[in-house]
Amino acid sequence: MSAERYNAVVIGAGTAGLVTAAATAGLGGRVALIERRQMGGDCLNFGCVPSKALLASARAAHHIRHADRWGLEASEPSFSFGRVMDRMRARRAQIAPHDSQERFEKLGVEVLRGDASFLSPHEVRVENRTLRAANFVIATGTRPAIPEIDGLDSVSYFTNETIFDELSGLPKSLLILGGGPIGCEMAQAFARLGVPVTLAHRGARLLPKEDSDASVLVERILAADGVSCLLTATARQVRADSDGIVMTFRQGEKNLERRAAAILIATGRTPNTDTLNLQAAGVRSAEHGVAVNARLQTSQPHIFAAGDVAGPFRFTHVADYQARIVARNILVPFAFLQSKADYSTVPWCTYLDPEIARVGLNEDAAREQGLACDVYRLPFAEVDRAIVEDETQGFVKVLTPRGKDRILGVTLIAAHGGDLLHEFALAMRCGIGLSRISSVIHAYPTFAEIARKTGDAFQKTRLTPFAKSLFRALYERARRE
Ligand SMILES: Cc1cc2nc3c(=O)[nH]c(=O)nc-3n(C[C@H](O)[C@H](O)[C@H](O)COP(=O)(O)OP(=O)(O)OC[C@H]3O[C@@H](n4cnc5c(N)ncnc54)[C@H](O)[C@@H]3O)c2cc1C
């Protein structure tokens, strides 16, 4: 093996790259990890971590503003935005050492800084070095997609890559483009921090991947926070004037104008593949990034891809899951022993308050596919803990194949919905149905009781007329004896 030959060269030090590199080095492989920006990628620097830290402060402000719900004196929260941002950065800094260059070097990974690109299927160039490897891993993630809007080049705007570090004070007003998870989360965060927010979305409903009843509830929740939602509105033009930024939208036949002091663009993601020179490697790209098979191999079997650039889901936990598969498949060279990705029980969550959590199929998708399903829908208004905590807004919805005790999917909207979801995710993964969930003792009073109640609802449907008359006869007999 020449000095520059590795078992694996991993491009990108976000979740997918970090986990692949750590696992391969941990198993004794020689690994180089290349990063052109910050270690930790999107999640740590401009994604999950800062957004959830900001949402936590916004939730606290909301609780102060609505303290009367808990029998306390409500008041307008008084705070310095600078301290809120400092707190967010401090929490981020607290997590950062886990992804740091020093930590990875201690784990035995050679970390190189620079923009990597393929020279051939077996060589990658970074700065002035050429690295050869038995395997390569493309883990280059995505960046914000910037829509084509006339005049956008001439105004300043934020994306998730800039807002957490470059926003120096609370804007007088904020216009957010994009009603997906990032747009909705940021709309709630800034609205609760006292900023008048307009959330403009091209589609007819927010969070379009979720069921329509979930979207309707999200719109209502955001409206209650003071967010003005502009749906079916396509941004066409933007200009700056002395009072801020003016954006023109097309909504049906109408042209609308909205003015704001600042703009945040959250209209989707673009894969980071343009500088990789995939052609030289013979790697086929796809619309979402890089095309992979279930083993996460690209069109070149020794080159893998993982994380956002590989799809089909763009979440940190999926990047982690895929990276573990890639590390295993690099170690095991025989196809029949290699692992395949299984996305049937991928949970996800939009961290609004209440949280919108999902695993598996939803009702709209089942209907589109023509699947015969039973739907068990229970409101949190029937859960004692939710009542005492004043958190009754959401619901759980569980889908099963008609008449069968198998969970196809769950939508859960609740405080801590993302955490509550995992009882169902585990059940799905292990083939546990609602009748067995009904038999599990759930502590009282917990939000998790919703799972047992859903199990009970399922059990009731199993009480056939024959069983009912049999039970009645048994009770009658017992009374006579
Ligand atoms: C605002 C926001 C909030 C989010 N919230 C959540 C959440 O709550 N939960 C969740 O699960 N997911 C969330 N996500 C998604 C999550 O951040 C991503 O799924 C995750 O970061 C993907 O990891 P990755 O390793 O695939 O890519 P990334 O984290 O994007 O890492 C890719 C790395 O590759 C580097 N790179 C790219 N090209 C090259 C090159 N040619 N040479 C060298 N280096 C290169 C990049 O600089 C980057 O550091 C959020 C995303 C955003 C934007």
> Using H for helix, E for strand and C for coil, what is the string for the chain?
CCCCEEEEEEECCCHHHHHHHHHHHHCCCCEEEEECCCCCHHHHHHCHHHHHHHHHHHHHHHHHHCHHHHCCCCCCCCCCHHHHHHHHHHHHHHHHHHHCHHHHHHCCCEEEECCEEEEECCEEEECCEEEEEEEEEECCCEEECCCCCECHHHCCCECHHHHHHHCCCCCCCEEEECCCHHHHHHHHHHHHCCCCEEEECCCCCCCCCCCHHHHHHHHHHHHHCCCEEECCCEEEEEEEECCEEEEEEEECCEEEEEEECEEEECCCEEECCCCCCHHHHCCCEECCEECCCCCCECCCCCEEECHHHCCCCCCHHHHHHHHHHHHHHHHCCCHHHCCCCCCCCCEEEECCCCEEEEEECCHHHHHHCCCCEEEEEEEHHHCHHHHHHCCCCCEEEEEEECCCCCCCEEEEEECCHHHHHHHHHHHHHCCCCHHHHHCCCCCCCCCCHHHHHHHHHHHHHCCCHHHHHHHHHHHHHHHHC
How confident is residue 467, by pLDDT bands cut at 50, 70 and 90? confident
Instruction: Kindly report, residue by residue over 292-330, the tens digit of the pLDDT.
Output: 999 999 999 999 999 999 999 999 999 999 999 999 999
Instruction: Say if 467 falls within a structural domain.
Output: no
Instruction: Kindly report, residue by residue over 115-139, the tens digit of the pLDDT.
Output: 999 999 999 999 999 999 999 999 9
Range of the domain at 365: 347-461
What is the distance of C-alpha 74 from the center of its chain?
A: 33
Strand partners, 258: 247
Same-domain check for residues 9 and 138: yes
How confident is residue 175, by pLDDT bands cut at 50, 70 and 90? very high
CA nearest ligand 1 atom 15, residue: 315
Q: What is the mean pLDDT of residues 16-44?
A: 98
Tokens of 12: 């990108």
Mutation pick for ligand 1 pocket among 42, 142, 161, 190 (CB with most ligand atoms within 8 Å):
42
**What is the Cα–Cα distance from 442 to 238, expressed in whole angstroms?**
54
Q: What is the mean pLDDT of residues 351-361?
A: 98
Same-domain check for residues 176 and 120: no
pLDDT of residue 3 exceeding 60, the answer is no
Same-domain check for residues 296 and 363: no
Distance between the two ends of the chain, CA-based, in angstroms? 88
Instruction: Say if 10 falls within a structural domain.
Output: yes
Instruction: Say if 450 falls within a structural domain.
Output: yes
Same-domain check for residues 236 and 325: no
Same-domain check for residues 377 and 420: yes
Same-domain check for residues 12 and 139: yes
Output the pLDDT for position 4. Answer: 65
Q: 287, 317, 337: which is the final residue of a domain?
A: 337
- % of the chain beyond a pLDDT of 70: 99
Q: What is the mean pLDDT of residues 406-429?
A: 98
Same-domain check for residues 191 and 216: yes
Q: 205, 235, 267: which is the final residue of a domain?
A: 267
Q: For ligand 1, what atom is nearest to the CA of residue 12?
A: 34
Q: What is the mean pLDDT of residues 369-380?
A: 97
The Cα angle at residue 182 between residues 12 and 410, in degrees rounded to 5 = 100
Same-domain check for residues 278 and 130: yes
Instruction: Say if 199 falls within a structural domain.
Output: yes
Same-domain check for residues 321 and 202: no
Same-domain check for residues 136 and 28: yes
How confident is residue 468, by pLDDT bands cut at 50, 70 and 90? confident
Which CATH number characterizes residue 288's domain? 3.50.50.60
Q: What is the mean pLDDT of residues 254-267?
A: 97
Distance 314 CA to ligand 1 centre (A): 8
Instruction: Report residues whose beta carbon is within 6 angstroms of any ligand 1 atom.
Output: 11-17, 34-37, 41-43, 47-48, 51, 115-116, 139-142, 160, 182, 272, 275-276, 307-309, 314-317, 319, 351
Instruction: Kindly report, residue by residue over 34-45, the tens digit of the pLDDT.
Output: 999 999 999 999
Instruction: Say if 93 falls within a structural domain.
Output: no
Distance 220 CA to ligand 1 centre (A): 30
Instruction: Say if 17 falls within a structural domain.
Output: yes
Q: What is the mean pLDDT of residues 257-285?
A: 97
Distance 43 CA to ligand 1 centre (A): 5
Same-domain check for residues 226 and 304: no
Q: For ligand 1, what atom is nearest to the CA of residue 186?
A: 1
Instruction: Kindly report, residue by residue over 198-213, the tens digit of the pLDDT.
Output: 999 999 999 999 999 9
Distance 38 CA to ligand 1 centre (A): 11
Q: For ligand 1, what atom is nearest to the CA of residue 116?
A: 42
Q: 215, 234, 267: which is the final residue of a domain?
A: 267
State the chain's mean pLDDT as an integer: 97
Output the pLDDT for position 1. Answer: 41
Which CATH number characterizes residue 436's domain? 3.30.390.30
Output the pLDDT for position 441. Answer: 98
Instruction: Say if 234 falls within a structural domain.
Output: yes
CA nearest ligand 1 atom 47, residue: 37
CA nearest ligand 1 atom 30, residue: 141
Same-domain check for residues 381 and 408: yes
Distance 409 CA to ligand 1 centre (A): 26
Q: What is the mean pLDDT of residues 85-112?
A: 98
Q: For ligand 1, what atom is nearest to the CA of residue 42?
A: 29
Q: For ligand 1, what atom is nearest to the CA of residue 126?
A: 42
Distance 41 CA to ligand 1 centre (A): 5
Instruction: Say if 61 falls within a structural domain.
Output: no
Domain count, the chain: 3
